[in-house]
Homo-oligomer: A and B are copies of this chain.
Amino acid sequence: MAQITLAELNRMDQRAFVTALGEVFEHAPWVAEQAHAARPFATVAALYQAMTDAVRGSPEDRRLALIKGHPDLAGKAARAGTMTQDSKAEQASAGLDRLSNDEFANFHRLNEAYRAKFGMPFIICVRRHGKDSIMRQFERRLHDDAAVERRTALEEIFRIIALRLDQRIAAADRLKVHGHLSTHVLDTHRGAPASGVALELAEIAASGERRVIARTVTNAGGRTDAPLMSEGPIPIAQYELRFALGDYFARRGVPLTDPPFLDIVPIRFAVAEPEGHYHVPLLATPWSYTTYRGS
A residues neighboring B (CB under 8 Å): 133, 186, 188-193, 221-222, 236, 238, 257-266, 268-270, 272-273, 283, 285-295
By a CB distance below 8 angstroms, the chain B residues around A293 are 188, 191-192, 261, 287-288
- Output the least CB separation between A38 and chain B (Å): 34
> Are A287 and B222 interface neighbours, CB within 8 A?
no
* Selected contact of A288 from candidates B263, B264, B283, CB within 8 Å: B283
* Selected contact of A290 from candidates B190, B258, B265, B283, CB within 8 Å: B283
Total identical chains: 4
> Are A259 and B272 interface neighbours, CB within 8 A?
yes
Whole-angstrom CA separation of A222 from B261 in the bound complex: 20
> Are B287 and A290 interface neighbours, CB within 8 A?
no
> Are A286 and B238 interface neighbours, CB within 8 A?
no
By a CB distance below 8 angstroms, the chain B residues around A133 are 259
6 A–B pairs (Cβ distance < 8 Å), ordered by A? A186-B292, A191-B287, A238-B259, A259-B270, A283-B288, A289-B291
* Selected contact of A188 from candidates B222, B269, B287, CB within 8 Å: B287
- Output the least CB separation between A248 and chain B (Å): 15
Whole-angstrom CA separation of A61 from B288 in the bound complex: 49
With A262-B268, A262-B270 already in contact, 19 other A-B pairs whose C-beta atoms are closer than 8 Å = A188-B293, A189-B285, A191-B286, A191-B292, A191-B293, A192-B293, A193-B295, A221-B295, A236-B259, A238-B263, A257-B270, A261-B270, A261-B293, A263-B270, A264-B268, A285-B285, A288-B293, A289-B290, A289-B291
> Are B292 and A188 interface neighbours, CB within 8 A?
yes
